[in-house]
Structure 1
Amino acid sequence: MKQSLSLRTGLSLTMTPALQQAIRLLQLSSLDLQQEIRQALESNVMLESTADEPEHPEEAVAEVEMSEAAEGSDEAETAGENTTLDLSSKEIPEDMPVDADWGDIYDSPTAASSSASSSGDDDGLHDYLQANLHGSTSLREHLGWQASIAPFDALEAEIALHLVDAINDDGYLEDWDTLSVRLAESLGVPLEQIEKVLRLVQDFDPPGVGARDLAECLRLQLQQYPPKTPGLAEAQRVLEAPMALLARRDEAQLARATGLDLEAIRPAMVLIQSLQPHPGRPYQSHENEYVAPDVFVAKHQGRWRVALNPEHTPRLRINSYYQGMIKRADTSRDQLTLKQHLQEARYFINSLEARNETLLKVAQCIIEEQRAFLEYGEEAMRPLVLRDVAERLGVHESTVSRATANKYMLTPRGLYELKFFFSSHVQTTEGGTCSATAIQAMIKRLIAQEDAAKPLSDSTLAELLLKEGIQVARRTVAKYREALRIPPSHERRPVN
């Protein structure tokens, strides 16, 4: 094979470290960005934050002068009085308990004032912690405690603990066939004994726990009711029918499958609807989650203005002290480290500025396109896709996608994720376009105005939308209705 040299020309995009960092920071949420900034400040000596410095130095100086004048007047009024805390004037008693407080020995002149001023803050902090911190027992801990006090022998207790550990957060035992065989082989016991312990575990609180499917879960809960409960026997027979009929609330098919008449089916349905399909849900932790907006939108003097959240755009700068220590001609190890930190700090600051600038431009473009939504609501939402914003800003679609990922905008109409303002379009009868969000808002309005006794079907909704100039198919209406988590018409019909 003959070897030769040749030249080729071509274009290629090289991902420099600075570009990679800018792309990574752009797609981070505000919480992840704050963590990234903290890590950068801790690892890079050249970076420092200016968040603690006042934005108006002259005001800070004025405050300092006023405080100094006040201190001078206080000293003039209290001349001749000894207000200095003398630690040598009192001796610590020998029998002082080990948990004694500082105030038990020395009298601080500011103790009363500080305690009075901080009492309100302490009460507020206590209320906040009580509202947001939960120390409730988990489902497995609750079941494990019941298994520890149940009258089990050593082997049954071990089986019960294995079963409790296999129960998921909703209170179900998944893949029971595989689990029971594996448990029987590992413990060397027959399957009948595992079934026996399972029935005892299913008697634990909460009712329905340890079920292997939804029907068994509901049946276990019905067993907790007194035998004379109205509709109990009928409800147990309904649960023997296919669950698909129960999910559709198809009373006619349930009557045929169970042999009951409609008058007996309806109270049974009411009783079943009062049960808990997820018995473990009340034991799951539900921490309050707060979303802080990345962008603020407000109307000022007839114009909509967009601003970034200053809490999410911290001010960073190069540390002048360490920067002054760099010497160009010096190639020592310390100097190389400082130069590397300086370069990384500049990359990081430039990436943050690029992120904020891109986010602000994308938000401004969204508001310009969706001004009608801010004025009139969701039904006035215009169709908008990533390509529209990318072409207007002269960037790639992936840049817009990263800029809108996990970012939130606070508007006079509420808090929305930036991706909420993007939606596909549907052709109207007049040749125009309408966004999918606007169509969903119309469907929500029509269903809210419907007669409860005669709920609107998807076909009827499509006909009503056609009268308003929106031509959509029935299956499209069904898709939008399901996206709104609105049940179909036969499930919205009230049960008499």
Structure 2
Amino acid sequence: MLHNGLQIRTGQQLTVTPQLQRAIRLLQLSSIELDGELQQALDDNVFLETEEADEIGDSGGAERETVGPAASASPGGVLPEREQAAPDADLHAHLAWQLGMSSLSERDLQIAELIIDALDEDGLLAADPDGLRRLVPGAPANAAEFEAVRQVIMGLDPVGCGAVDIAECLSVQLRRRELSSKVREAADALLALGLESLAGADTEELAASIGENAATVCAAMEALRLLDPRPGRRYGAVDAEYIVPDVVVRQCRGRWVVELNPQVLPRLRVNELYERLMAEQAEGHRAMHGQLQEARWLVRSVQMRNETLLKVAGAIMRHQSGFLEHGEIAMRPMVLEEIAAAVGMHESTVSRVTTRKYIHTPRGNFELKYFFSSRLGTRNGGRCSSTAVRALIRRIVEGEEAGQPLSDGRIARLLSERGVRIARRTVAKYREAMGIPPVAERLLAVERGERIAAHH
């Protein structure tokens, strides 16, 4: 029997237009990568130009969102200089983070961990599914149970990871594209022929093979070319990079406001003179018409990226307004599906928006994905954020009496007294993640006069 969460998640399907597809691709880029790509586009496309700061004028609120009243008087502060960011998480960590922010059951998560550990660098499943099913702790997973979890993974970002081969990987991505039923059926039929058959065949041969006309086959082949046969490669190891916040949250007239950072906000437009001259030309300049269309699409895609980033950041800050007032100890539990529902987007899109996108707050710079955390139960039946619990653990350790460090079990009991239900092993996991040594090492550190410093 499938779990309720799986039934809901496998029933979702996102249909995207070509423009939205492009905007989603741009969402994967950091601000520095986006700047590089736009500079290249400016060099290559005569119809594109940048807007100067004094030409922009008042945005009329289009680049800001009010997220709630500000109870304190914390200053917005001055934007910091560029800071060095940690290298990107690899594919396995990126998928694991998304799964941790989902509503999967513990058993489903165990199955998912086995699957993502068995992915190769392309994101494809490199192990026999039957063998993996037998490795699930507790009891082997049945085929339906395993397949349901694999389908969830294939719908994460990047889409298609967990597929057994390239053809299935492309087929999963194809289902997320907005295509006519005729073109979709033709694309599926072409995939069924095998990728080797597609490589050397011409349009007429392929059309005859699947019983379609050449125009439909051309459209289907174009749809297939836009897919990524190796989605895992984009999360390979990269060097650390310097970052500037993409969005800023500050106080304005007693309310918290989220704004796009003008320092990194892309400003592109189509050159009106060239556009007008092109409109006066005959239909002969097909290449130039193509460049003009490309310029229009890129400008619109960047606008959609900005709107999406602002909408998601605003929703996150509305949910985590307590953090702005009181710090991480006031963080609320929040998972991807909550923000996805609030902004009307797919969870994989929210994952793209929050990965390698940074927000400047009065409490420092944070990656947007930092504000997501799993739920822990409380004694009165409520829920608290795992981030807030980590902050409590850090506070408890920092308040230890000299020479009397607390064991994980004792910390768990103290948290229980404060209404948080947590197992000793979970305390140990959080403590280790924050770089806090175990009780014996803390005792030795005190005897040596060393100071224990936890990291966030």
TM category, shorter:
0.5 to 0.7
Q: 1:56 to 1:428 in 2, by over 3 A?
A: closer
Contact persistence 2:266–2:302 (CA under 8 A): no
Distance of 1:359 and 1:329 partners within structure 2: 38
| Equivalent position of 1:385 in the other structure | 335
Q: Give, in angstroms, the shift of residue 389 of structure 1.
A: 0.5
2:270 alignment counterpart:
318
Equivalent residue runs for 1:7-406 within 5 Å: 17-51=18-52, 53-55=54-56, 290-327=242-279, 330-332=282-284, 335-406=285-356
Distance across 2 between alignment mates of 1:460 and 1:360? 43
Residue matched to 2:442 = 492
2:398 alignment partner in structure 1 = 448
Q: How many residues align?
A: 257
Q: Is the 8 A contact 2:20 2:304 kept in 1?
A: no
Give the whole-Å Cα distance in 2 for the aligned partners of 1:448 and 1:293.
Answer: 30
Deviation at 1:353, TM superposition (A): 0.6
3-state DSSP of counterpart to 1:454: coil
Query: Helix, strand or coil: the match of 1:330?
Result: coil
Deviation string, structure 1 residues 113-132 (Cα, Å, up to 9, x no partner): xxxxxxxxxxxxxxx9xxx9
Runs of 4+ off more than 6 Å: 12-15
Q: For residues 341-382 of structure 1, what are the alpha-carbon distances to aligned partners after superposition, in whole Å with 9 as ceiling and x for unaligned?
A: 111011101111111001101111111111111111111100
TM-aligned CA distance change 1:317 to 1:298, over 3 Å: same
Determine what percentage of the aligned residue pairs are the same residue.
51
CA 1:352–1:410 in structure 2 vs 1: closer, same or farther (change >3 Å)? same
CA 1:357 to 1:401, structure 2 compared with 1: closer, same or farther past 3 Å?
same
The SS at the match of 1:312 is: coil
Contact 1:51/1:314, CA 8 A, preserved across alignment: no
Amino acid across the alignment from 1:47: L
- C-alpha change, 1:405 and 1:431, in structure 2 (3 Å) is same
Question: Aligned AA for 2:363?
Answer: R
**What is the root-mean-square deviation of aligned Cα atoms in Å?**
2.6
Distance in 2 (CA, whole Å) between partners of 1:448 and 1:13 is: 47
In structure 1, C-alpha distance between the alignment counterparts of 2:240 and 2:26, rounded to whole Å? 26
Q: Secondary structure at the residue paired with 2:384?
A: strand
The answer to whether the 8 Å contact 2:31/2:243 transfers is no
- Displacement, 1:27? 1.6
Listed one character per residue, the Cα deviations across residues 301-353 of structure 1 (whole Å, up to 9, x for unaligned) are 22110100112222211112221222577243xx1121101110111011111
AA aligned opposite 1:411: T
- Cα distance in 2 for residues equivalent to 1:328 and 1:459: 78
Q: Partner of 2:124 in structure 1?
A: none
| Amino acid paired to 2:347 | E
State which structure, 1 or 2, has the greater radius of gyration over its C-alpha atoms. 1
Q: CA deviation at 1:13?
A: 7.2
Matched residue type, 2:51: T
Give CA deviations for 1:245-286 in whole Å, capped at 9, x if unaligned: xxxxxxxxxxxxxxxxxxxxxxxxxxxxxxxxxxxxxxxxxx
The one-letter amino acid paired with 1:19 is L
Q: Is residue 32–residue 243 contact of structure 2 (8 Å, CA) maintained in 1?
A: no
Q: Are the counterparts in 2 of residues 390 and 396 from structure 1 also a CA contact under 8 Å?
A: yes
Counterparts in 2 of 1:303 and 1:39: CA distance versus 1, 3 Å: same
Q: Structure 1 residues 426 and 22 mapped into 2: Cα distance closer, same or farther (>3 Å)?
A: same
| CA displacement at 1:404 relative to structure 2 | 0.7
Confirm or deny: 8 A CA contact 1:22 1:354 kept in the other structure: yes
* Cα-to-partner distance string for 1:188-239 (whole Å, 9 max, x where unaligned): xxxxxxxxxxxxxxxxxxxxxxxxxxxxxxxxxxxxxxxxxxxxxxxxxxxx
In structure 2, stretches of 5+ residues that fail to align are 1-12, 59-80, 85-238, 449-456
1:476, distance to aligned residue in structure 2 (A)? 0.5
The offset of 1:392, in angstroms, is: 1.1
Hey, what's the Cα distance between the residues in 2 that align with 1:393 and 1:367?
13
The gaps in structure 1 that reach 5 residues or longer are: 1-11, 58-127, 133-286
Structure 1 residue 453 displacement after superposition: 1.1
Q: CA deviation at 1:293?
A: 0.7
The answer (yes or no) to whether the contact 1:293–1:408 under 8 Å persists in 2 is yes
CA–CA separation in structure 1 for the residues paired with 2:240 and 2:342: 38
